[in-house]
Amino acid sequence: MVDKWSRMYAYRSIADWALDGSPVPPPQTVKVLWLDRMRQAAGSTAFVETGTLAGTTSAMMSFCDGLAVHTIEIDERQFVRAKEKLAERPNVTQHLGNSAVILPELVPTLPDRTLFWLDAHCSGDHTGQAETKSVLTQEVALLTTDLTREFVLVLDDARSFNGRAGYPHLDDLLASLRGLSDTYDARTGHDAVTYAPKSVWAAFDAAQYSVNSAPFLA
């Protein structure tokens, strides 16, 4: 169970963001709420994060019952730092290395409709970096190879999708994703691009979701 101070901070961050006019980027709590909504809509039993950093997102998602959480970090300092935070979360598995290398080994072991949070990029001296600032294009190419797996992809930091430093251009990315299959759709929102089967979007649109139902706020 999340302690009361963490819950109070989370609710406050959501309220402040809404009162400020929902600026971009939203606070992490809002992003994790979006992930939880997609998890529920898809019925995901596994969650994969690329770019662990401090481990906060994986820690919050680990409160979802029955959810296996995997998180990948290229920087050993951040990996060790996150290990302390995640040590008491038995359903979290940490992976040290480049997500473009680890994902091809991990993906075959995952169930269908796994939820992916693609957030591996360099954000300054305190974060790790592969050959390019972002490996997002490589990650997306791998995860859309077999769409029968019905993976759900949430690509963070859409505001940075400008065609430079390893990032795709947002318009090109959306056109590419939407052209892959007529059974999938891509949407933007909360500084992210979410790519999911249309059946998942139908469940998402029909659901009555309450902030109070989020496991990490329970």
pLDDT attached to residue 133: 55
Query: Tens of pLDDT along 174-190?
Result: 999 999 999 999 999 99
pLDDT in tens, 161-173: 999 887 899 999 9
User: Which residue has tokens 């992003």?
Assistant: 31
Query: pLDDT tens for residues 124-150?
Result: 444 444 455 578 999 999 999 999 999
* Residue 24 C-beta-side C-alpha neighbours within 13 Å: 10
CA distance 174 to 188: 9
Cβ–Cβ < 8 Å for 209, 12: no
Spatial distance between the Cα atoms of 120 and 133, rounded to a whole number of angstroms: 9
Residue 38 has pLDDT above 90, yes or no: yes
Q: What is the pLDDT of residues 69-100, one digit of tens each?
A: 999 999 999 999 999 989 999 999 999 999 99
The rounded distance, in Å, linking the Cα atoms of 19 and 23 is 10
Partners of residue 186 on adjacent β-strands: 195
Full set of structural domains in the chain with CATH: 4-217 (3.40.50.150)
- pLDDT attached to residue 131: 54
pLDDT band at residue 2, thresholds of 50, 70 and 90?
Answer: low
Residue 3: predicted pLDDT = 64
pLDDT at 5 over 70: no
Q: Report how far residue 126's alpha carbon sits from residue 214's, in angstroms, rounded to the nearest whole number.
A: 30
